[in-house]
Amino acid sequence: MNKKQKKMLARIIISAVMLIVLHFIPVTGIAEFVLYFATYLIIGYDILKKAGKGILNRQIFDENFLMSVATLGAFILAIYEQSGDYVEGIAVMLFYQIGELFQSYAVGKSRKNISALMDIRPDYANLERDGKLQKVDPDEVEIGSIIVVQPGEKVPLDGIIKEGTSTLNTSALTGESMPRDAREGDEIISGCINMTGVLKVQTTKEFGESTVSKILELVENSSSRKSKSEDFISKFAKIYTPAVCYSALALAILPPLVQMIFLNVPAQWDVWVYRALTFLVISCPCALVISIPLSFFAGIGGASKEGVLIKGSNYLETLSRAKYVVFDKTGTLTQGVFEVSGVHHNEIENEKLLEYAALAECASSHPISKSLQKAYGKEIDRNRVTDIEEISGHGIVAKVDGETVAAGNSKLMKKLNIPYQDCHSVGTIIHMAINGTYAGHIVISDIIKLHSKEAVRELKHAGVEKTVMLTGDAKSVADQVAASLGIDEVYSDLLPADKVTKVEELLNLKQDSEKLAFVGDGINDAPVLTRADIGIAMGAMGSDAAIEAADVVLMDDDPMKIAKAIKISRKCIRIVYQNITLALVIKFACLGLGAIGIANMWFAIFADVGVMIIAVLNAIRALRVHNL
């Protein structure tokens, strides 16, 4: 408990003890009123204060106003009837404060997961100056500076390790407890914790653009993006609260007037005023106003602990309705680690063909280019390469040692009018031509991720009706991968723009109530992530494009997290609908009973505080996401 919660607990205990003691002390008259009213002020002064501020700010109708009118009215009735029964007014306020304390504790519990994530914010960065380490604000560190990260410290900025080896704790980012090894030349992102060795890191981004800043900004802004359910509750409360206040006023005045004027019997003002006050206590919309946002907050907090960052409750609600899941292949279902698995040549040696391919592709950062250079295994002399021309979706044409080398897919060969040999090998085929003559082809295979097949199966169990894979690979490769994973539909030979077109076609086919989620690696899938109903960026640590474009960010490369994210969202929405139904059904039933005099003030306490506690207990179930 925090200091404020402990103070409230003390007030609750003192008031409860005073109520018990006063029950056994034989006091009457003014002394009795003073002692009971002092007890009332101890437990309810803050509610009265908030109600007063609301009236001064012309924001009258809220739960504080309802509780103040109802409890003060109970005191006035006790004085009017000269019954000395002040217990009801105090009891209503006491149980209301118990409910508020319970709600505050529940919010704190759900906030804990997000607070743990917020702990990744670094307090300082170590700069080495004159042989000594100097702690500076991360905002003051310029790009290209060398910072020192000692064991136990947070990595303050993104960069490249220039010296040292260590293991990194990335659990705050990915939800995974397994540490990761890091060595010289590796990229390192802010927010990790250095566990063992001393690292010297050359920064590549300013603090405001670093991974940790992007993630913190995402989480901090998540509460501002409200779901339709939360908007409904906000609008409902604005109409509902004034309506019940005027209804209570009418209940207090109209029946006695009818008794006097039309029935010609004495007006029972005390009976109807009591019913009106009971009506007010019952009508408090606390269960709805508190539990619905708390449910979403708990869901987002529980997901963040698992390394699933959801940008707002509106995206959580949309994700829960996902019936179509569309995957990019490379980097999402496969590792994006390409390896040369075969070299087939005409009148040139294997090594020479690989050499030409690696040199022609030396200026590209594409994974296929890197795999060719890795297979070549020698240092690339870029002076041997000139006139490099990259043709999007086709390949590369360049001059190597003065000879024109073309390396790409079958589209490139057709574009250059070069006859080529069809290849039925499973993998990406790089056709090679030298000086306009076909020289052979190189087969490059991507590795399917360990849990991809299980992830697709889990999506079906989670209620996803159709899975689709989009890829720029050849049809034979795409069909083979889709069949091995159990994907329902596959579209191959797609350019980046074609993927957007295909997603738009799929969006037009589905019903309005169904949502389409696109899952990509976030590097070159930003347009599709933005176009889908819900964009999910996977393995997005360090990827600005993913964090900016996606609605849901999975911080590691495990495809199982996709199904988990959907299950979390659906559990959260189930809880929200349960709380809305529970609160409204019980509220309106009790309001009817209160209006006809069946429900008294004690019954009203259950209808208000009891329902709120049940709803809050149900809401914090959204935190339990580990075993989904």
Task: Give catalytic residue positions.
Answer: 328
Contact 122, 68 (CB under 8 A): no
Q: How many helical (H) and strand (E) elements, i.e. helices and strands, does the chain have?
A: 21, 22
At 440, is the secondary structure helix, strand, or coil?
strand
Backbone angles phi, psi at 555, to 5 degrees: -80, 0
Contact 286, 582 (CB under 8 A): no
- Name the one residue in this structure whose structure tokens are 């410290």: 153
Backbone angles phi, psi at 328, to 5 degrees: -80, 145
> DSSP letter string over 275-328?
HHHHHHHHH--HHHHHHHHHHHHHHHHHHHHTTEEES-HHHHHHHTTEEEEEEE
How far is the C-alpha of 521 from the C-alpha of 537, rounded, in Å? Answer: 5
- Amino acid of residue 192: C
The first and second tokens of residue 206, run together, are 């300013």
The first and second tokens of residue 426, run together, are 């499973």
Contact 471, 490 (CB under 8 A): yes
How far is the C-alpha of 600 from the C-alpha of 277, rounded, in Å? Answer: 9
- Dihedral sign, CA of 169, 174, 178, 182? negative
How far is the C-alpha of 493 from the C-alpha of 496, rounded, in Å? Answer: 10
- Amino acid of residue 269: W
